[in-house]
Amino acid sequence: MNEDLKYDTFRYFLECYFNPSANYEELETLVKEFNSTEESKYRQKLQQELEQIFQLDNWDDIQEFVRKHAMRKINSDRLTWFIRTILHNLNQS
Protein backbone atom coordinates (compact mmCIF):
# COMPACT_ATOMS: atom_id res chain seq x y z
CA MET A 1 0.00 0.00 0.00
CA ASN A 2 1.13 3.51 -0.72
CA GLU A 3 2.36 4.91 2.59
CA ASP A 4 1.72 8.44 1.28
CA LEU A 5 -2.02 7.87 1.76
CA LYS A 6 -2.78 9.71 4.96
CA TYR A 7 -6.47 10.57 4.78
CA ASP A 8 -6.59 11.21 8.52
CA THR A 9 -10.21 12.33 8.58
CA PHE A 10 -11.40 9.43 6.42
CA ARG A 11 -9.49 7.07 8.71
CA TYR A 12 -11.16 8.71 11.72
CA PHE A 13 -14.60 8.27 10.11
CA LEU A 14 -13.89 4.60 9.41
CA GLU A 15 -12.52 3.83 12.86
CA CYS A 16 -14.99 5.86 14.93
CA TYR A 17 -18.22 5.92 12.93
CA PHE A 18 -18.15 3.08 10.40
CA ASN A 19 -16.39 0.64 12.71
CA PRO A 20 -16.86 -3.15 12.44
CA SER A 21 -20.07 -3.05 14.47
CA ALA A 22 -21.77 -0.79 11.88
CA ASN A 23 -23.47 -2.10 8.76
CA TYR A 24 -23.91 -0.58 5.32
CA GLU A 25 -27.59 0.16 5.88
CA GLU A 26 -26.54 2.56 8.66
CA LEU A 27 -24.15 4.57 6.50
CA GLU A 28 -26.43 7.55 5.86
CA THR A 29 -27.31 7.75 9.56
CA LEU A 30 -23.64 7.57 10.51
CA VAL A 31 -22.76 10.41 8.14
CA LYS A 32 -25.59 12.49 9.61
CA GLU A 33 -24.22 11.78 13.07
CA PHE A 34 -20.76 12.85 11.87
CA ASN A 35 -22.31 16.05 10.47
CA SER A 36 -24.06 16.91 13.71
CA THR A 37 -21.17 15.97 16.00
CA GLU A 38 -18.02 17.14 14.24
CA GLU A 39 -16.86 20.68 13.60
CA SER A 40 -17.25 22.18 10.14
CA LYS A 41 -13.50 22.03 9.45
CA TYR A 42 -13.55 18.23 9.90
CA ARG A 43 -16.57 17.81 7.64
CA GLN A 44 -14.82 19.89 4.98
CA LYS A 45 -11.61 17.91 5.42
CA LEU A 46 -13.45 14.61 4.97
CA GLN A 47 -15.11 15.94 1.83
CA GLN A 48 -11.74 17.06 0.43
CA GLU A 49 -10.15 13.71 1.17
CA LEU A 50 -12.97 11.77 -0.50
CA GLU A 51 -12.92 14.03 -3.55
CA GLN A 52 -9.17 13.48 -3.78
CA ILE A 53 -9.72 9.72 -3.68
CA PHE A 54 -11.95 10.02 -6.75
CA GLN A 55 -9.39 12.17 -8.54
CA LEU A 56 -6.52 9.78 -7.86
CA ASP A 57 -8.58 6.78 -9.03
CA ASN A 58 -6.33 4.35 -7.16
CA TRP A 59 -8.91 1.88 -5.92
CA ASP A 60 -6.51 -0.90 -4.96
CA ASP A 61 -4.79 1.31 -2.40
CA ILE A 62 -8.10 2.65 -1.11
CA GLN A 63 -9.47 -0.88 -0.76
CA GLU A 64 -6.42 -1.74 1.35
CA PHE A 65 -6.88 1.47 3.37
CA VAL A 66 -10.50 0.54 4.12
CA ARG A 67 -9.52 -3.04 4.93
CA LYS A 68 -6.92 -1.80 7.39
CA HIS A 69 -8.94 0.94 9.09
CA ALA A 70 -12.51 -0.37 8.87
CA MET A 71 -11.61 -4.07 8.94
CA ARG A 72 -13.71 -4.70 5.81
CA LYS A 73 -12.90 -6.22 2.47
CA ILE A 74 -14.81 -4.21 -0.10
CA ASN A 75 -14.79 -4.44 -3.90
CA SER A 76 -14.24 -1.36 -6.06
CA ASP A 77 -17.92 -1.00 -7.08
CA ARG A 78 -19.11 -1.06 -3.49
CA LEU A 79 -16.25 1.24 -2.48
CA THR A 80 -17.31 3.76 -5.12
CA TRP A 81 -20.90 3.58 -3.84
CA PHE A 82 -19.65 3.91 -0.26
CA ILE A 83 -17.64 7.07 -0.94
CA ARG A 84 -20.37 8.63 -3.11
CA THR A 85 -22.91 7.98 -0.35
CA ILE A 86 -20.72 9.66 2.24
CA LEU A 87 -20.11 12.65 -0.03
CA HIS A 88 -23.80 12.99 -0.86
CA ASN A 89 -24.79 12.94 2.79
CA LEU A 90 -22.00 15.30 3.82
CA ASN A 91 -23.48 17.79 1.38
CA GLN A 92 -26.91 17.44 2.97
CA SER A 93 -25.87 19.24 6.15
Q: What is the pLDDT along the chain (93 residues), one digit of tens a residue?
A: 454 568 999 999 999 999 999 999 999 999 999 999 999 999 999 999 999 999 988 899 999 999 999 999 999 999 999 999 999 999 775
Give residue 51's identity as a one-letter amino acid code. E
Which residue from 52, 41, 40, 42 is spatially nearest to 17, judged by alpha carbons? Answer: 42
- Tell me if the pTM is above 0.75: yes
What does the DSSP 8-state code read for residue 57? T
Rounded distance between C-alpha atoms, residue 81 and residue 59, angstroms: 12
Q: Sign of dihedral through CA atoms 22, 87, 33, 15?
A: positive
